[in-house]
Amino acid sequence: MHLSCMLAIFLALAWPAAAAGTDKKSMAYSDADQAMLFRIARESIQAHLRGKWPPPLESDAPKLREPRGVFVTLHRKGSLRGCIGYLEAVKPLGQAVQEMARAAAFQDPRFPPLQAEELPEIDLEISILTPMRRVDTTAEITVGVHGLYLEQGPRRGLLLPQVATEHGWDRLTFLRQTCVKAGLPPDAWKDAATRIYIFCAEILKEHPPEAGTSRQECPTP
């Protein structure tokens, strides 16, 4: 079972130097901003299916011009169909969503490229990330609020905040699954050589179960 998104090649090599802390400011997105982000994502996928470049980004919304780390997730009939993202805020949000929507649909190595007949059944989810913060103790991890990123040598693993909630995991299971995601033994998080980071995400759903956005409150460090 596929549990989370791919870091793939979209993890910036200089990321640790930028990981100063979790910052939730300016993380509220209006209905208009959200609608534009989902429009950008869908138009990017549709353009690729037609063998064309996506249309130019025309929004002048300030929040869509802010650099943000972001993951785009595709679900088909409730099952994961692709997920890739930028862990670091390397590009403006609108551009990052445009690129990652296309990558999630056609470049996730766990799945075959999306076909045109599948698109009407695809639901999109956009997770906009705060900067990372390294933790000194796992007690700082709050399930349902924080996502996890850990690294040991060349091994790296990431799970978004919503993954633990969706699977009913506690903190220990979340840590162990993130280790597995990194290709490490489940208890590798205990190793002094393993660096553990937390982050929060503004989770936007194309078809939310209730009116409004599903938001994760990120406590001030």
Q: Which of 27, 38, 24 is nearest to 72 (CA)?
A: 38
Query: CB-based contacts of 163: which residues, under 8 Å, 6+ apart?
Result: 3, 4, 147, 169, 174, 177
Mean pLDDT, rounded, for 138-157: 96
Residue owning tokens 């025309």: 58
Q: Using a pLDDT cut of 70, give the percent of the chain over it.
A: 82
Residue 56 clears pLDDT 50, i.e. is over it: yes
169 or 26: which carries more pLDDT confidence?
A: 169
Domains and CATH numbers, the chain: 1-12+26-129 (3.30.700.20), 134-203 (3.30.1490.150)
pLDDT at site 219: 56
Task: Answer yes or no: is pLDDT of 118 > 70.
Answer: yes
Per-residue model confidence (pLDDT) at position 163 = 93
Structure tokens at 219: 């406590």
Least-confidence region, from 10-19, 36-45, 117-126, 127-136: 10-19
Mean per-residue pLDDT of the chain: 86
pLDDT for res 1? 31
What share of the chain has pLDDT > 90, as a percent?
Answer: 76
Q: Which residues pair with 205 in a beta bridge?
A: 125
Q: Is the pLDDT of residue 51 over 50?
A: yes
Secondary structure (3-state) at 127: strand
Cα 165 to its chain centre, rounded Å, is 15
pLDDT category at 153 given cuts 50, 70, 90 is: very high
